[in-house]
Structure 1
Amino acid sequence: MRILMIAQSPIAGDSRILREATALAAAGHTLHVIGRDVPEGFEVGPGITVESVSRSSGLRTGSGGLTVGHGHSGPKVLAKRFGRWLLLPEHRSRTEKQWRIAAAPRVAAAGPVDVVHAHDFNTLELAAEYAARWSAALVYDSHELWFDRALPGRPTPLWRARGRKYELSLAARARVVFTVSDGIAARLRSRGLPDVRVVRNTFPRADDVPPAPSRPEGLLYAGRVGAGRDLSTVVAAARELAPFRTVLMGSVDPNYRLDLGPVETVPERSIDEVDDTLRTYGISLVTLTNTCENHRLALPNKLFHAVRAGVPVVAADLPELRAVVTEHTLGTLYEPGNAHSLTAAVRTLIDDYPTYTEGVRTAAKTLNWEQDATTLVNAYAELAS
């Protein structure tokens, strides 16, 4: 089939979209992907073409990044922060809408196709419009529980309630809905979507995983450095764990400020290079704040990246993470926001490290992309028939 994927995420760094497109192309389909921030000359693989639609960079409040201490106060700074807090929800919605308007001519030029695959809610309206126009099958890929995320800015309860209702009205037109965890799938089914299938953010199995060391060298957080990741708790625990090393590796959200304390930083690396880095330190941090339903039902990429690398995890004790970590003996759990709990979880893992490394390596037989890609490809085979 001819498949059009639409996403507002930076395609080159979105491993889920790239893996899905590659799996479908390998199954014989032809794909065109419209996203944003695609580098010049970027290629995915045979049978896949990609194009980029730019999006505004968002509100800025000045310099940001990893810093020691804040050092900014006073009425003017507080007024700017309040203004940003007040205006951010409208700005976010307007930015996403402007992207859809800019992308519409590209979508129109890409069709007609057999399937329009919408990645996340912010592309669903556009995808549904053109799927109907071309009599194509609509597929909705919900990477998150969209209207239950923790978002910066003022509270927006009416926007969330209306958004859930509108999301369901559009998603009801989809032939199949994909999502990333059993918890989110159950929630979407409870809201009235009958065919919701789980395609987790797993990674392809590694060809060769070196033997695990008898003892870890440190903790590694490999992922986006920003709000919602509970990194202030990581810093506080690092003070208790020192001289045991705590390391952050990843790109930094604009305007995010974190008092690093004893935490080390290393440059961001490619997905494949992260495997070796995880093995160097020996423990992967899978941290989230307990601030929204989306976090409580999430299964972050970094959990499955640790499985691929053969490295145990210390993970936030949230329902969906707890279920997978305990079922497969992947590591230990800590209470989000509680540095003492995180410290205790790290020490427990160190004390019984061989048990958890064995659990991770056994889990790699089932928690891998080869398993999840089968769900995706089989669903498309049903659409084709």
Structure 2
Amino acid sequence: MIAQSPIAGDSRILREATALAAAGHTLHVIGRDVPEGFEIGPGITVESVSRSSGLRSGNGGLAVGHGRNGPKVLVQRFGRWLLLPEHRNRTEKHWRTAAASVVAAAGPVDVVHAHDFNTLELAAEYAEKWSASLVYDSHELWFDRALPGRPTPLWRARGRRYEVSLASRARVVFTVSDGIAERLRSRGLSDVRVVRNTFPRADDVPPAPDQPEGLLYAGRVGAGRDLPTVVAAARQLLPFRTVLMGSVDPNYRLDLGPVETVAERSIDEVDDTLRTYGISLVTLTNTCENHRLALPNKLFHAVRAGVPVVAADLPELRAVVTQYKLGGLYEPGNAQSLTAAVRAVIENYSTYTDGVRTAAAELNWEHDAATLVTAYSEL
């Protein structure tokens, strides 16, 4: 497996590797910035390649207020906006160059599994050298993401074509939702299978309370998550509590208003925290096709915890939330809509807790891991 993500915190990669090892495969995972001594489990070895930190200023973090202003700051921001796409591509290419010797030393192997497009070219090169099977795991609709910096329509168009030309060499393509799978098939990829970012079933889910105590956003705090809308709705929902929990993107600034914050916690602790508050927020902006077709991890984390959701009304989220009666939907960017959706879930709380707990029988990692393991058995 090859990944440019910091794999110690990438639950999809960790679960896939563990599931394949349990099925009898031996794995070597090459990732980014892996902590010293980090282990995934029996049958799995891990190797790390570092990547530059990128264009960052020293004034990041979650903050109340509007940040700095002035001509100098505006010039700096314009420069970042202009250069970010080029810098991002150069940084990813630099990682692939540094990783090439590490990949070469790991082979030959039977299968090369590329996590996301930014490892696909390297993976395809060595799969061909070793006559190995290539597997492509598309965590996102890569060239349809909302990215900071200046618009890059030509890069996106060329990238989609190049992605298909490389991924066409793969024996199987995995992705995270039916919507992204359909889009990849429409671009010419035939064998695309869905392995969702679900969570293992909880051993013991306590009975749901009669009423929720608050609204919890558990995830990365940064752009694209529609958090300003959450803050605006929180003012309308008082005294009902709204809470953010998660790591904060560098340079992200947010006027918190009445929103509380708690420190990032482990997966099991997130389960307990979700149950404490009672409603999980699954928010995204309606700013790109990738968001419209996404199924965020936090949706399935809520299912594992047995907690209803209030989710952004985007096509793929809408399909799953309504099919399984997991909670309410709101229009991204609309605080009134979010407020109404939260109040509707509170009023019909027992209906949605029943829906979530019923859905846990299907929306779980045991179900999705079987798709992954079956595909590997066919290789």
Whether 1:337 aligns to 2:319 is no
Give the Cα–Cα distance (whole angstroms) in 1 for the partners of residues 140 and 366 of structure 2: 22
Whether 1:355 aligns to 2:369 is no
Q: CA deviation at 1:66?
A: 1.1
Give the Cα–Cα distance (whole angstroms) in 2 for the partners of residues 311 and 75 of structure 1: 47
What's the counterpart of residue 124 of structure 1? 120
Does the CA contact (< 8 Å) of 1:61 and 1:81 recur in 2?
no
Of the candidates 187, 202, 222, which is equivalent to residue 226 of structure 1?
222
Give the Cα–Cα distance (whole angstroms) in 2 for the partners of residues 25 and 284 of structure 1: 32
Does the CA contact (< 8 Å) of 1:282 and 1:311 recur in 2?
yes
Q: CA deviation at 1:62?
A: 3.1
What's the counterpart of residue 289 of structure 1? 285
Stretches of structure 1 that go unaligned for 5 or more consecutive residues are none
Q: Secondary structure at the match of 1:332?
A: strand
Of the candidates 256, 259, 262, which is equivalent to residue 263 of structure 1?
259
Q: CA deviation at 1:71?
A: 3.6
Give the Cα–Cα distance (whole angstroms) in 2 for the partners of residues 43 and 54 of structure 1: 17
Q: Displaced runs of 4+ in structure 1, greater than 3 A? A: none
Structure 2 counterpart of 1:269, one-letter code? R
What's the counterpart of residue 249 of structure 2? 253
Of the candidates 2, 25, 46, which is equivalent to residue 29 of structure 1?
25
Give the Cα–Cα distance (whole angstroms) in 1 for the partners of residues 173 and 86 of structure 2: 28
Give the Cα–Cα distance (whole angstroms) in 2 for the partners of residues 119 and 40 of structure 1: 22
Does the CA contact (< 8 Å) of 1:247 and 1:265 recur in 2?
yes
| Bigger shift: residues 70-79 or 285-294 | 70-79
CA deviations over 1:135-162 (Å, ceiling 9, x no partner): 0000000000000000000000000000
Structure 2 counterpart of 1:324, one-letter code? V
TM-score if structure 2 supplies the norm length?
Answer: 1.00
What's the counterpart of residue 66 of structure 1? 62
Give the Cα–Cα distance (whole angstroms) in 2 for the partners of residues 190 and 60 of structure 1: 37
What's the counterpart of residue 146 of structure 1? 142
Of the candidates 158, 176, 180, which is equivalent to residue 172 of structure 2?
176
Give the Cα–Cα distance (whole angstroms) in 2 for the partners of residues 327 and 7 of structure 1: 33
Whether 1:166 aligns to 2:166 is no
Of the candidates 181, 186, 191, which is equivalent to residue 182 of structure 2?
186
TM-score if structure 1 supplies the norm length?
Answer: 0.98
Whether 1:12 aligns to 2:1 is no
Give the Cα–Cα distance (whole angstroms) in 1 for the partners of residues 26 and 296 of structure 2: 29
Whether 1:78 aligns to 2:63 is no
Does the CA contact (< 8 Å) of 1:226 and 1:253 recur in 2?
yes
Whether 1:197 aligns to 2:197 is no
Q: Secondary structure at the match of 1:206?
A: coil
Of the candidates 352, 364, 369, which is equivalent to residue 360 of structure 2?
364
Structure 2 counterpart of 1:69, one-letter code? G
The number of aligned residues is 379
Q: CA deviation at 1:204?
A: 0.4
Q: CA deviation at 1:65?
A: 1.2
Q: CA deviation at 1:295?
A: 0.2
Q: CA deviation at 1:120?
A: 0.1
Give the Cα–Cα distance (whole angstroms) in 2 for the partners of residues 125 and 115 of structure 1: 15
Give the Cα–Cα distance (whole angstroms) in 1 for the partners of residues 267 and 116 of structure 2: 22
Structure 2 counterpart of 1:165, one-letter code? R
CA deviations over 1:22-58 (Å, ceiling 9, x no partner): 0000000000000012111111100000011000001
Q: Secondary structure at the match of 1:67?
A: coil
Of the candidates 293, 296, 305, which is equivalent to residue 309 of structure 1?
305
Stretches of structure 2 that go unaligned for 5 or more consecutive residues are none
Give the Cα–Cα distance (whole angstroms) in 1 for the partners of residues 68 and 376 of structure 2: 53
Q: CA RMSD in A?
A: 0.5
Q: Secondary structure at the match of 1:33?
A: strand
Does the CA contact (< 8 Å) of 1:61 and 1:80 recur in 2?
no
Give the Cα–Cα distance (whole angstroms) in 2 for the partners of residues 188 and 132 of structure 1: 22
Q: CA deviation at 1:60?
A: 1.1
